[in-house]
Protein backbone atom coordinates (compact mmCIF):
# COMPACT_ATOMS: atom_id res chain seq x y z
CA UNK A 1 0.00 0.00 0.00
CA UNK A 2 2.82 2.30 0.86
CA UNK A 3 4.39 1.41 -2.48
CA UNK A 4 1.27 2.33 -4.43
CA UNK A 5 0.92 5.61 -2.62
CA UNK A 6 4.56 6.37 -3.31
CA UNK A 7 4.13 5.93 -7.04
CA UNK A 8 1.16 8.31 -7.05
CA UNK A 9 2.50 11.18 -4.99
CA UNK A 10 5.67 11.51 -7.04
CA UNK A 11 7.21 13.03 -3.93
CA UNK A 12 9.00 9.89 -2.83
CA UNK A 13 12.40 11.54 -2.85
CA UNK A 14 11.44 13.88 -0.02
CA UNK A 15 9.77 11.22 2.16
CA UNK A 16 11.70 8.98 4.49
CA UNK A 17 9.97 5.57 4.47
CA UNK A 18 9.55 3.34 7.51
CA UNK A 19 7.93 0.12 6.28
CA UNK A 20 5.37 -1.42 8.60
CA UNK A 21 4.37 1.82 10.27
CA UNK A 22 0.87 2.74 9.11
CA UNK A 23 0.15 6.39 8.33
CA UNK A 24 -2.42 8.43 10.23
CA UNK A 25 -3.96 10.65 7.54
CA UNK A 26 -5.62 12.98 10.05
CA UNK A 27 -2.41 13.60 11.97
CA UNK A 28 -0.61 14.03 8.68
CA UNK A 29 -3.07 16.68 7.51
CA UNK A 30 -2.74 18.45 10.87
CA UNK A 31 1.04 18.47 10.52
CA UNK A 32 0.93 19.82 6.97
CA UNK A 33 -1.47 22.59 8.07
CA UNK A 34 0.74 23.37 11.06
CA UNK A 35 3.75 23.63 8.76
CA UNK A 36 2.02 26.19 6.54
CA UNK A 37 0.92 28.26 9.52
CA UNK A 38 4.34 28.09 11.13
CA UNK A 39 5.94 29.25 7.88
CA UNK A 40 3.50 32.13 7.53
CA UNK A 41 3.99 33.30 11.07
CA UNK A 42 7.73 32.87 11.48
CA UNK A 43 9.08 33.13 7.93
CA UNK A 44 11.45 30.79 6.12
CA UNK A 45 14.45 31.56 8.31
CA UNK A 46 12.76 30.75 11.63
CA UNK A 47 10.74 27.80 10.37
CA UNK A 48 11.78 24.77 12.46
CA UNK A 49 10.68 21.15 12.97
CA UNK A 50 10.35 21.99 16.68
CA UNK A 51 7.90 24.78 15.97
CA UNK A 52 5.77 22.61 13.69
CA UNK A 53 5.74 19.72 16.18
CA UNK A 54 4.59 22.04 18.98
CA UNK A 55 1.93 23.59 16.81
CA UNK A 56 0.61 20.23 15.56
CA UNK A 57 0.74 18.70 19.04
CA UNK A 58 2.96 15.80 18.02
CA UNK A 59 6.45 14.74 19.01
CA UNK A 60 9.37 15.89 16.91
CA UNK A 61 10.25 12.25 16.28
CA UNK A 62 6.89 11.79 14.52
CA UNK A 63 7.91 14.46 12.05
CA UNK A 64 11.30 12.89 11.42
CA UNK A 65 9.61 9.53 10.73
CA UNK A 66 8.06 11.07 7.64
CA UNK A 67 10.23 14.01 6.61
CA UNK A 68 13.99 14.13 6.44
CA UNK A 69 14.22 17.83 7.31
CA UNK A 70 12.34 21.11 7.55
CA UNK A 71 12.58 21.88 3.86
CA UNK A 72 11.16 18.48 2.88
CA UNK A 73 8.23 19.06 5.24
CA UNK A 74 7.59 22.58 4.02
CA UNK A 75 7.80 21.55 0.39
CA UNK A 76 5.34 18.70 0.89
CA UNK A 77 2.94 20.97 2.77
CA UNK A 78 2.87 23.39 -0.11
CA UNK A 79 2.62 20.59 -2.65
CA UNK A 80 -0.28 18.93 -0.82
CA UNK A 81 -2.30 22.11 -0.74
CA UNK A 82 -1.88 23.46 -4.25
CA UNK A 83 -3.58 20.85 -6.38
CA UNK A 84 -7.05 21.99 -7.36
CA UNK A 85 -6.14 25.25 -9.13
CA UNK A 86 -5.56 23.62 -12.48
CA UNK A 87 -8.67 21.40 -12.60
CA UNK A 88 -10.35 23.58 -15.20
CA UNK A 89 -12.56 22.52 -18.13
CA UNK A 90 -15.56 24.76 -18.82
CA UNK A 91 -15.96 24.07 -22.53
CA UNK A 92 -14.65 27.43 -23.82
CA UNK A 93 -11.27 29.17 -23.85
CA UNK A 94 -12.71 32.28 -22.23
CA UNK A 95 -14.42 30.22 -19.54
CA UNK A 96 -11.28 28.21 -18.85
CA UNK A 97 -9.06 31.30 -18.59
CA UNK A 98 -11.53 33.02 -16.26
CA UNK A 99 -11.73 29.89 -14.10
CA UNK A 100 -7.95 29.46 -14.07
CA UNK A 101 -7.19 33.05 -13.05
CA UNK A 102 -10.07 33.11 -10.54
CA UNK A 103 -8.80 29.90 -8.90
CA UNK A 104 -5.28 31.28 -8.80
CA UNK A 105 -6.22 34.68 -7.36
CA UNK A 106 -8.54 33.12 -4.76
CA UNK A 107 -5.80 30.67 -3.76
CA UNK A 108 -3.04 33.30 -3.51
CA UNK A 109 -5.17 35.47 -1.23
CA UNK A 110 -5.57 32.56 1.21
CA UNK A 111 -2.81 31.98 3.76
CA UNK A 112 -1.72 28.68 2.22
CA UNK A 113 -1.62 30.15 -1.27
CA UNK A 114 0.30 33.15 -0.08
CA UNK A 115 2.79 30.77 1.61
CA UNK A 116 3.18 29.03 -1.74
CA UNK A 117 3.83 32.34 -3.41
CA UNK A 118 6.37 33.34 -0.80
CA UNK A 119 8.22 30.06 -1.19
CA UNK A 120 8.37 30.70 -4.93
CA UNK A 121 9.80 34.14 -4.27
CA UNK A 122 12.26 32.79 -1.69
CA UNK A 123 13.34 30.14 -4.20
CA UNK A 124 14.74 32.92 -6.38
CA UNK A 125 17.55 33.22 -3.82
CA UNK A 126 17.28 29.97 -1.80
CA UNK A 127 18.24 26.70 -3.57
CA UNK A 128 16.38 24.61 -0.94
CA UNK A 129 13.05 25.75 -2.42
CA UNK A 130 14.12 25.66 -6.05
CA UNK A 131 12.60 22.25 -6.81
CA UNK A 132 9.19 22.94 -5.34
CA UNK A 133 9.09 26.34 -7.04
CA UNK A 134 9.96 24.70 -10.35
CA UNK A 135 7.34 22.02 -9.80
CA UNK A 136 4.64 24.61 -9.07
CA UNK A 137 5.66 26.67 -12.10
CA UNK A 138 5.50 23.56 -14.26
CA UNK A 139 2.09 22.66 -12.94
CA UNK A 140 0.78 26.13 -13.82
CA UNK A 141 2.41 26.00 -17.24
CA UNK A 142 0.89 22.56 -17.84
CA UNK A 143 -2.58 23.76 -16.81
CA UNK A 144 -2.37 26.74 -19.17
CA UNK A 145 -1.09 24.51 -21.97
CA UNK A 146 -4.03 22.10 -21.56
CA UNK A 147 -6.49 25.00 -21.73
CA UNK A 148 -5.05 26.10 -25.06
CA UNK A 149 -4.80 22.55 -26.40
CA UNK A 150 -8.50 22.03 -25.80
CA UNK A 151 -9.24 25.37 -27.50
CA UNK A 152 -7.31 24.19 -30.58
CA UNK A 153 -9.17 20.86 -30.54
CA UNK A 154 -12.42 22.81 -30.59
CA UNK A 155 -11.14 24.71 -33.64
CA UNK A 156 -10.62 28.13 -32.01
CA UNK A 157 -8.45 30.45 -34.13
CA UNK A 158 -5.51 31.51 -31.98
CA UNK A 159 -2.40 33.56 -32.70
CA UNK A 160 0.12 31.03 -31.39
CA UNK A 161 2.86 33.61 -30.89
CA UNK A 162 0.66 35.43 -28.38
CA UNK A 163 -0.16 32.43 -26.17
CA UNK A 164 2.88 32.48 -23.86
CA UNK A 165 2.94 36.27 -23.42
CA UNK A 166 -0.81 36.30 -22.73
CA UNK A 167 -0.44 33.61 -20.06
CA UNK A 168 2.46 35.60 -18.58
CA UNK A 169 0.30 38.75 -18.51
CA UNK A 170 -2.64 36.91 -16.90
CA UNK A 171 -0.58 35.25 -14.17
CA UNK A 172 1.35 38.50 -13.73
CA UNK A 173 -1.83 40.56 -13.37
CA UNK A 174 -3.07 38.11 -10.72
CA UNK A 175 0.24 38.46 -8.87
CA UNK A 176 -0.01 42.26 -8.97
CA UNK A 177 -3.50 42.01 -7.48
CA UNK A 178 -2.10 39.96 -4.61
CA UNK A 179 0.77 42.40 -3.98
CA UNK A 180 -1.50 45.44 -4.15
CA UNK A 181 -4.16 43.99 -1.89
CA UNK A 182 -2.25 41.92 0.61
CA UNK A 183 -3.94 39.41 2.85
CA UNK A 184 -5.64 42.18 4.82
CA UNK A 185 -7.77 43.54 1.98
CA UNK A 186 -9.74 40.62 0.55
CA UNK A 187 -12.35 41.10 -2.15
CA UNK A 188 -15.81 42.00 -0.83
CA UNK A 189 -17.18 38.79 -2.29
CA UNK A 190 -16.13 35.86 -4.41
CA UNK A 191 -18.14 37.29 -7.28
CA UNK A 192 -16.14 40.57 -7.05
CA UNK A 193 -12.99 38.52 -7.33
CA UNK A 194 -14.39 36.66 -10.35
CA UNK A 195 -15.50 39.94 -11.98
CA UNK A 196 -11.98 41.33 -11.62
CA UNK A 197 -10.51 38.24 -13.29
CA UNK A 198 -13.14 38.26 -16.02
CA UNK A 199 -12.32 41.82 -17.06
CA UNK A 200 -8.59 41.04 -17.23
CA UNK A 201 -9.24 37.90 -19.30
CA UNK A 202 -11.62 39.75 -21.65
CA UNK A 203 -9.02 42.45 -22.18
CA UNK A 204 -5.99 40.26 -22.88
CA UNK A 205 -7.95 37.72 -24.96
CA UNK A 206 -7.99 40.36 -27.72
CA UNK A 207 -4.26 39.64 -28.09
CA UNK A 208 -5.01 36.04 -29.06
CA UNK A 209 -6.92 36.99 -32.22
CA UNK A 210 -4.89 35.94 -35.27
CA UNK B 1 23.01 70.80 6.16
CA UNK B 2 21.41 67.96 8.01
CA UNK B 3 18.14 69.88 7.90
CA UNK B 4 18.25 70.36 4.14
CA UNK B 5 19.01 66.72 3.59
CA UNK B 6 16.15 65.78 5.83
CA UNK B 7 13.66 67.76 3.79
CA UNK B 8 14.80 66.04 0.62
CA UNK B 9 14.79 62.42 1.71
CA UNK B 10 11.23 62.52 2.95
CA UNK B 11 12.19 59.69 5.27
CA UNK B 12 12.49 61.85 8.35
CA UNK B 13 9.92 59.84 10.29
CA UNK B 14 12.10 56.75 10.28
CA UNK B 15 15.33 58.57 11.23
CA UNK B 16 16.34 59.33 14.78
CA UNK B 17 18.05 62.72 14.76
CA UNK B 18 21.07 63.68 16.86
CA UNK B 19 21.67 67.35 16.15
CA UNK B 20 25.30 68.43 15.96
CA UNK B 21 26.62 65.08 14.83
CA UNK B 22 27.69 65.38 11.19
CA UNK B 23 26.86 62.53 8.82
CA UNK B 24 29.51 60.49 7.04
CA UNK B 25 27.94 59.79 3.63
CA UNK B 26 30.44 57.05 2.75
CA UNK B 27 29.83 55.13 5.97
CA UNK B 28 26.10 55.66 5.49
CA UNK B 29 26.20 54.18 2.00
CA UNK B 30 28.24 51.23 3.31
CA UNK B 31 25.66 50.61 6.03
CA UNK B 32 22.74 50.76 3.60
CA UNK B 33 24.54 48.30 1.28
CA UNK B 34 25.34 46.03 4.21
CA UNK B 35 21.69 46.07 5.26
CA UNK B 36 20.55 44.93 1.81
CA UNK B 37 23.12 42.14 1.71
CA UNK B 38 22.30 41.04 5.24
CA UNK B 39 18.61 40.90 4.37
CA UNK B 40 19.28 38.89 1.21
CA UNK B 41 21.48 36.40 2.98
CA UNK B 42 19.58 35.93 6.23
CA UNK B 43 16.00 36.77 5.33
CA UNK B 44 13.62 39.12 7.10
CA UNK B 45 13.31 37.01 10.25
CA UNK B 46 17.05 36.80 10.97
CA UNK B 47 17.86 40.36 9.89
CA UNK B 48 19.41 42.12 12.92
CA UNK B 49 21.17 45.41 13.69
CA UNK B 50 24.08 43.31 15.03
CA UNK B 51 24.49 41.52 11.72
CA UNK B 52 24.42 44.76 9.73
CA UNK B 53 26.93 46.45 12.08
CA UNK B 54 29.35 43.51 11.77
CA UNK B 55 29.00 43.44 8.01
CA UNK B 56 29.47 47.21 7.62
CA UNK B 57 32.36 47.26 10.09
CA UNK B 58 30.76 49.84 12.37
CA UNK B 59 29.62 49.76 15.97
CA UNK B 60 26.01 48.94 16.70
CA UNK B 61 25.67 52.31 18.44
CA UNK B 62 26.45 54.02 15.11
CA UNK B 63 23.40 52.35 13.62
CA UNK B 64 21.15 53.35 16.48
CA UNK B 65 22.31 56.98 16.10
CA UNK B 66 20.56 57.04 12.72
CA UNK B 67 17.89 54.35 12.75
CA UNK B 68 15.45 53.57 15.51
CA UNK B 69 15.27 49.86 14.74
CA UNK B 70 15.98 47.16 12.16
CA UNK B 71 12.85 47.81 10.17
CA UNK B 72 13.61 51.54 9.84
CA UNK B 73 17.10 50.69 8.59
CA UNK B 74 15.88 48.08 6.13
CA UNK B 75 13.16 50.34 4.82
CA UNK B 76 15.59 53.23 4.27
CA UNK B 77 18.07 50.92 2.53
CA UNK B 78 15.44 49.81 0.07
CA UNK B 79 14.17 53.36 -0.37
CA UNK B 80 17.67 54.73 -1.02
CA UNK B 81 18.38 52.20 -3.75
CA UNK B 82 15.17 52.23 -5.73
CA UNK B 83 15.09 55.72 -7.19
CA UNK B 84 16.19 55.69 -10.83
CA UNK B 85 13.65 53.24 -12.23
CA UNK B 86 11.03 55.86 -12.87
CA UNK B 87 13.26 58.53 -14.50
CA UNK B 88 11.87 57.85 -17.96
CA UNK B 89 11.17 60.34 -20.77
CA UNK B 90 12.05 59.13 -24.27
CA UNK B 91 9.56 61.24 -26.25
CA UNK B 92 7.13 58.42 -27.15
CA UNK B 93 4.71 56.22 -25.26
CA UNK B 94 6.25 53.06 -26.69
CA UNK B 95 9.77 54.22 -25.83
CA UNK B 96 8.75 55.21 -22.30
CA UNK B 97 7.01 51.88 -21.62
CA UNK B 98 9.99 49.91 -22.96
CA UNK B 99 12.36 51.96 -20.83
CA UNK B 100 10.16 51.64 -17.75
CA UNK B 101 9.81 47.85 -17.99
CA UNK B 102 13.48 47.39 -18.92
CA UNK B 103 14.58 49.46 -15.90
CA UNK B 104 12.24 47.50 -13.66
CA UNK B 105 13.27 44.05 -14.90
CA UNK B 106 16.98 44.93 -14.75
CA UNK B 107 16.54 46.25 -11.22
CA UNK B 108 14.56 43.25 -9.95
CA UNK B 109 17.19 40.83 -11.22
CA UNK B 110 19.88 42.63 -9.18
CA UNK B 111 20.26 41.67 -5.51
CA UNK B 112 19.03 45.03 -4.23
CA UNK B 113 16.02 44.99 -6.54
CA UNK B 114 15.19 41.47 -5.55
CA UNK B 115 15.42 42.51 -1.87
CA UNK B 116 12.93 45.27 -2.66
CA UNK B 117 10.62 42.79 -4.27
CA UNK B 118 10.89 40.41 -1.34
CA UNK B 119 10.07 43.17 1.12
CA UNK B 120 6.99 43.97 -0.95
CA UNK B 121 5.97 40.32 -0.79
CA UNK B 122 6.71 40.12 2.94
CA UNK B 123 4.62 43.26 3.44
CA UNK B 124 1.56 41.29 2.37
CA UNK B 125 1.76 39.52 5.73
CA UNK B 126 4.09 41.75 7.80
CA UNK B 127 2.77 45.19 8.86
CA UNK B 128 6.34 46.45 9.55
CA UNK B 129 7.00 46.63 5.81
CA UNK B 130 3.57 47.86 4.80
CA UNK B 131 4.56 51.52 4.52
CA UNK B 132 7.64 51.01 2.40
CA UNK B 133 5.75 48.58 0.17
CA UNK B 134 2.99 51.14 -0.26
CA UNK B 135 5.52 53.86 -1.00
CA UNK B 136 7.23 51.75 -3.65
CA UNK B 137 3.90 50.83 -5.23
CA UNK B 138 2.91 54.50 -5.29
CA UNK B 139 6.20 55.46 -6.90
CA UNK B 140 5.65 52.89 -9.66
CA UNK B 141 2.06 53.99 -10.13
CA UNK B 142 3.16 57.62 -10.32
CA UNK B 143 5.86 56.80 -12.90
CA UNK B 144 3.35 54.96 -15.08
CA UNK B 145 0.83 57.77 -14.70
CA UNK B 146 3.39 60.37 -15.84
CA UNK B 147 4.22 58.28 -18.90
CA UNK B 148 0.57 58.26 -19.95
CA UNK B 149 0.06 61.94 -19.11
CA UNK B 150 2.88 62.88 -21.45
CA UNK B 151 1.39 60.63 -24.15
CA UNK B 152 -1.93 62.48 -23.81
CA UNK B 153 -0.12 65.85 -23.97
CA UNK B 154 1.45 64.71 -27.25
CA UNK B 155 -2.05 63.90 -28.54
CA UNK B 156 -1.77 60.08 -28.59
CA UNK B 157 -5.16 58.35 -28.90
CA UNK B 158 -5.50 56.04 -25.92
CA UNK B 159 -8.33 53.84 -24.66
CA UNK B 160 -8.40 55.16 -21.11
CA UNK B 161 -10.16 52.10 -19.72
CA UNK B 162 -7.22 49.94 -20.78
CA UNK B 163 -4.46 52.00 -19.14
CA UNK B 164 -4.55 50.51 -15.64
CA UNK B 165 -4.96 46.89 -16.78
CA UNK B 166 -2.14 47.32 -19.32
CA UNK B 167 0.19 48.69 -16.64
CA UNK B 168 -0.83 45.78 -14.40
CA UNK B 169 -0.04 43.31 -17.20
CA UNK B 170 3.33 44.92 -17.94
CA UNK B 171 4.48 45.02 -14.33
CA UNK B 172 3.04 41.53 -13.83
CA UNK B 173 4.86 40.13 -16.85
CA UNK B 174 8.12 41.59 -15.52
CA UNK B 175 7.45 39.95 -12.15
CA UNK B 176 6.81 36.59 -13.83
CA UNK B 177 10.14 36.93 -15.64
CA UNK B 178 11.87 37.45 -12.31
CA UNK B 179 10.14 34.46 -10.69
CA UNK B 180 10.82 32.18 -13.66
CA UNK B 181 14.46 33.16 -14.00
CA UNK B 182 15.61 33.72 -10.47
CA UNK B 183 18.83 35.50 -9.65
CA UNK B 184 20.86 32.56 -10.97
CA UNK B 185 19.73 32.80 -14.59
CA UNK B 186 20.38 36.36 -15.74
CA UNK B 187 19.81 37.43 -19.33
CA UNK B 188 22.76 36.76 -21.65
CA UNK B 189 23.07 40.50 -22.26
CA UNK B 190 21.38 43.75 -21.44
CA UNK B 191 20.11 43.93 -25.00
CA UNK B 192 18.45 40.48 -24.58
CA UNK B 193 16.69 41.85 -21.54
CA UNK B 194 15.58 44.94 -23.47
CA UNK B 195 14.39 42.79 -26.41
CA UNK B 196 12.25 40.72 -24.02
CA UNK B 197 10.64 43.86 -22.60
CA UNK B 198 10.16 45.39 -26.06
CA UNK B 199 8.19 42.39 -27.31
CA UNK B 200 5.94 42.44 -24.24
CA UNK B 201 5.32 46.18 -24.63
CA UNK B 202 4.63 45.85 -28.37
CA UNK B 203 2.12 43.11 -27.66
CA UNK B 204 0.14 44.78 -24.87
CA UNK B 205 0.22 48.24 -26.51
CA UNK B 206 -2.36 46.89 -28.96
CA UNK B 207 -4.79 46.95 -26.02
CA UNK B 208 -4.42 50.73 -25.74
CA UNK B 209 -5.87 51.42 -29.19
CA UNK B 210 -9.26 53.11 -28.81
Task: Look at residue B140 in the predicted model and tell me its pLDDT.
Answer: 84
Q: What is the DSSP letter of B21?
A: -
Name every chain B residue with its beta carbon within 8 A of the beta carbon of A169: 169, 172-173, 200, 204
Candidate from A173, A183, A207 with C-beta closest to B168: A173
As a whole number of angstroms, the distance between CA B37 and CA B106 comes to 18
3-state SS, A155-183, equals: CCCCCHHHHHHHHHHHHHHHHHHHHHHCC
CATH classification for the domain delimited by A84-208, as one of 3.40.50.1440, 3.40.50.410, 1.10.357.10, 3.40.50.970: 1.10.357.10
Give the closest residue to B5 by CA, choosing from A18, B17, A23.
Answer: B17
Q: Which residues of B touch A (CB under 8 A)?
A: 40, 42-46, 114, 117-118, 120-125, 130, 133, 137, 162, 165, 168-169, 171-180, 182-183, 199-200, 203-204, 206-207
Nearest-by-CA chain A residue for B120: A179
Judge: B46–A46 Cβ closer than 8 Å, yes or no. Answer: yes
Judge: A120–B179 Cβ closer than 8 Å, yes or no. Answer: yes
CA distance B45 to chain A (A): 6
Task: Look at residue A167 in the predicted model and tell me its pLDDT.
Answer: 93
Judge: B44–A43 Cβ closer than 8 Å, yes or no. Answer: yes
Judge: A168–B199 Cβ closer than 8 Å, yes or no. Answer: no
- Give tens-digit pLDDT for B131-159: 778 888 888 888 899 999 999 999 999 99
User: A2-80 adopts what CATH topology?
Assistant: Tetracycline Repressor; domain 2 (1.10.357)
Residue B102 has pLDDT above 70, yes or no: yes
Q: What is each CA distance from A171 to A37, A125, A168, A201, in whole angstroms?
A: 25, 21, 5, 10
Q: Which of A1-10, A135-144, B20-29, B113-122 has the lowest mean pLDDT?
A: A1-10
Task: Look at residue B162 in the predicted model and tell me its pLDDT.
Answer: 92
- Give tens-digit pLDDT for A167-177: 999 999 999 99
Name every chain B residue with its beta carbon within 8 A of the beta carbon of A176: 168, 171-172, 175
Judge: B206–A207 Cβ closer than 8 Å, yes or no. Answer: yes
- Give tens-digit pLDDT for B179-190: 887 666 778 899
- Give tens-digit pLDDT for B54-76: 999 999 999 999 999 888 898 88
Question: Collapsing DSSP states into helix, strand and coil, what is residue B128?
Answer: helix
Same topology, domains A2-80 and A84-208? Answer is: yes
Judge: B176–A171 Cβ closer than 8 Å, yes or no. Answer: yes
Q: Where are the domains of chain B?
A: 2-80, 83-208
CA distance B86 to chain A (A): 18
Q: Span B83-208: which CATH code?
A: 1.10.357.10
Candidate from B121, B162, B180 with C-beta closest to A118: B121
Candidate from A43, A123, A178 with C-beta closest to B43: A43
Judge: B44–A40 Cβ closer than 8 Å, yes or no. Answer: no
Task: Look at residue B184 in the predicted model and tell me its pLDDT.
Answer: 66
| CA atoms B9, B12, B13, B16: torsion sign | positive
Mean pLDDT across the stretch B179-207?
A: 88
Nearest-by-CA chain A residue for B163: A203
Amino acid sequence: MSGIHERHTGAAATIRKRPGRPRDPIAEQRILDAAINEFLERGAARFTMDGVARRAGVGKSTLYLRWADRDALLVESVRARSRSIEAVDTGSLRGDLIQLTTNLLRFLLEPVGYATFRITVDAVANPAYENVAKELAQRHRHAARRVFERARERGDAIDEAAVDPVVECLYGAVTMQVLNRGLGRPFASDSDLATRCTSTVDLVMRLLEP
